[in-house]
Amino acid sequence: MTTTTTLARENAREGAAGVSLVGVGGAILTALVLLYFAGFAQAAQYHDAAHDTRHTLAFPCH
Amino acid sequence: MTMRIFANGLFAGLIAGAVVVLLQFLLTEPLILEAEEYESGARVHFAGLAEPGVLHDHGANEAADAPPAPGAGKEEAGESLAARFALAFAADFVVYVAWGLILSALVSVAIARGQETSLQNGLLWGLAGFVAVQVAPGVGLAPELPGIPAADLQARQIWWIATVLAAAAAMGLFAFVRNPAGIAAGIALLALPHLIGAPRLEQLAGLAPPSLAAEYVARSYAVALAGWSLLGLSMAWLWGRAADPVPVPVPADDR
């Protein structure tokens, strides 16, 4: 319990010192671009390349 | 911190993606290829059943009902199939790295709010992703085999995105706003897209047998559950490593 609390506090301190809006926003933005091409873009080359993945991972495909 | 968000998202995505590639190859690809044989007409769902009198004659239907020999589709077009798999598997990695980056960004905020990087928490992060990205939209738009007609694609994509966003917000409320109002709001967010309703054809149809589609849905969820669990677990492991009390110079750490 004590260890847990200490660890949580350490994490909190590190996070508070280092939470990076650039990192959070940048990572999410990068991810959205990747998801757009792999999961949503309908141009034939993206659709055909990612076809089986879209079906397996249950993105709306056709 | 910025680099850690990207690095942990990337590595967790690669770890989960590798398992998803393997499971996709073993579980869903064979069914996709089989469904395409129905789509192309190489197989026919009601073969032999059309003539009256043979409906219950299982002998007559054996050829049509027999499960495909393992790898039957593969021999037909060896090289193009290999290329197709390579592209699909690359796409698996792209998708899971993307989910990894999003989860990593959110986890960095959760850690800043004092959440531990235990494996239990990691599994919960993964399951939250599984619910938000697979279960919530899947209730309205089930995983689909090729050759199944569906409603307008753009409408389904919009509904899918909105549902995933709402469900992700609900997961956040359940995790961080643990009071009755937060939980009620989370349940409302989960329910709302389904009250509105997913785009759906009035009359459902499909070339492949329903049993093949059922098998496919079960396997698709198995792949997703494995992928998301592993994504969450490896995320906790990677962030836990970073949170180890190593002597780090305090200023100018954020490169």
SS3 per residue for B48-84: CCCCCCCCCCHHHHHHHHCCCCCCHHHHHCHHHHHHH
C-alpha A56 chain-centroid distance: 18
Q: Greater confidence, B39 or A25?
A: A25
The whole-angstrom distance between A10's CA and the closest CA on chain B is: 8
Mean per-residue pLDDT, A36-48: 90
Q: Greater confidence, B175 or A5?
A: B175
Q: Chain B window 48-107: which residues touch A at a Cβ cutoff of 8 Å? A: 84-85, 87-92, 94-95, 97-102, 104-106
Whether B214 contacts B96, CB under 8 Å: no
Mean per-residue pLDDT, B228-233: 98
Q: Is pLDDT at B239 greater than 80 in this prediction?
A: yes
Q: Work out the pLDDT band at B99, boundaries 50, 70, 90.
A: very high
Closest CA to B17 of B90, B99, B135, B96: B96
> Residues of A with CB below 8 A from B141's CB?
58, 60
Q: Work out the pLDDT band at B254, boundaries 50, 70, 90.
A: low
C-alpha B39 chain-centroid distance: 23
Q: A21 CB near a chain B CB, below 8 Å?
A: no
Q: What's residue B61's pLDDT?
A: 42
Q: Greater confidence, B239 or B206?
A: B239
Indicate the range of A47-56, B68-77, B126-135, B168-177 predicted with least confidence.
Answer: B68-77
Mean per-residue pLDDT, A2-19: 51
Write down the H helix ranges in B24-152: 29-40, 58-65, 72-76, 78-112, 119-130, 136-140
Question: Between chains, do A55 and B137 touch, taking CB under 8 Å as contact?
Answer: no
B106, HSE (Cβ side, Cα atoms, 13 Å): 21
Q: What's residue B67's pLDDT?
A: 47
Q: Which residue among A4, A15, A23 places its CB closest to the CB of B105?
A: A23
Average pLDDT, chain B: 85
Q: Give the pLDDT confidence of B170-180 residue by residue, as tens digits.
A: 999 999 898 99
The whole-angstrom distance between B139's CA and the closest CA on chain A is: 11
Q: Give the pLDDT confidence of B34-63 residue by residue, as tens digits.
A: 999 888 887 777 665 444 433 344 444 444
Q: Is pLDDT at A4 greater than 70 in this prediction?
A: no
